[in-house]
Structure 1
Amino acid sequence: MVKCRQSLIDNQAYINDLNDILARLTAAVSNDKPYKSLFGDVVRLKEHLQVIIGYYQDQLKKGLPDVEFYQTSASFAPLISLIVQNKKPFLDDIESERIAKYVINHNARDIMGKDMLRITDIIMNPFLEDHRNDKSFSYC
């Protein structure tokens, strides 16, 4: 359990760092104000996105074992049964989160596939752009 808890902490720190980078980059673009570490943030963002791509590829290759963990929850089937029978008209926050996780994980293969295309576009498109005729463009 400690290892799982540590993994959650690491994942949350990773997500927080990614969100912080995105916030700085978004503010710079919105305000048209670059900052000293902008290039470093772009590189770190690409690294984070490549890690996500690697995780998705690994999960898809292994048959989505992390998804299986959520889908086999013993408390999910009784909850859905109560909802279907109209015996549970309202959900509390925990139940709502449980259903959201199930739906996301049930559709994980499709979500991951679409995300991988979006992320690949973000990572690769700037390098595929042809700037030969753009005299004002510089990678420096």
Structure 2
Amino acid sequence: MVTFPILAVRKVIERGKTDAANNGGFRNPYYGLKPGQGEIPGLWLVGDQGVYIISNGKLADGERPLVLYSEECHPIGNPDWFHYKQRHFGGDDGIEFIDAEQLIPLFDRNLRCTHLNVQLTETEVSLSLIAR
């Protein structure tokens, strides 16, 4: 499981929407293999050097997406990040798209919760909210 502060997740989603408005839409998380899928507001859950989420709006040349590392799997400050990533995300690098239309209503219904909890299995991504 990896967790992210909800307020910061909202900022990642908003940054994606702003980038999309300024630069012509949303990026396709499937490297063009599934045209039209995932080109909507959301975020990408990425596992490579740690586990993090990034904004998905198209970017102008030289711009970088907003990145938010999980609290448990940041390569700076957590010497065990590699083993944690392998155990909770898998050994291979990867990207999972999470639709903002799933997240925002979940956040809005649970205002006392502070963190998004993401659990991955070989076949699914589960989202839940927790209070810390």
* TM exceeding 0.5: no
The structure in which a higher percent of residues are strand is 2
- TM-score normalised to the size of structure 2? 0.25
Greater helix proportion: 1
Greater C-alpha Rg:
1
TM-score with structure 1 length normalisation? 0.24
Indicate the structure whose relative CO is greater, using CA pairs within 8 Å and at least 6 residues apart: 2
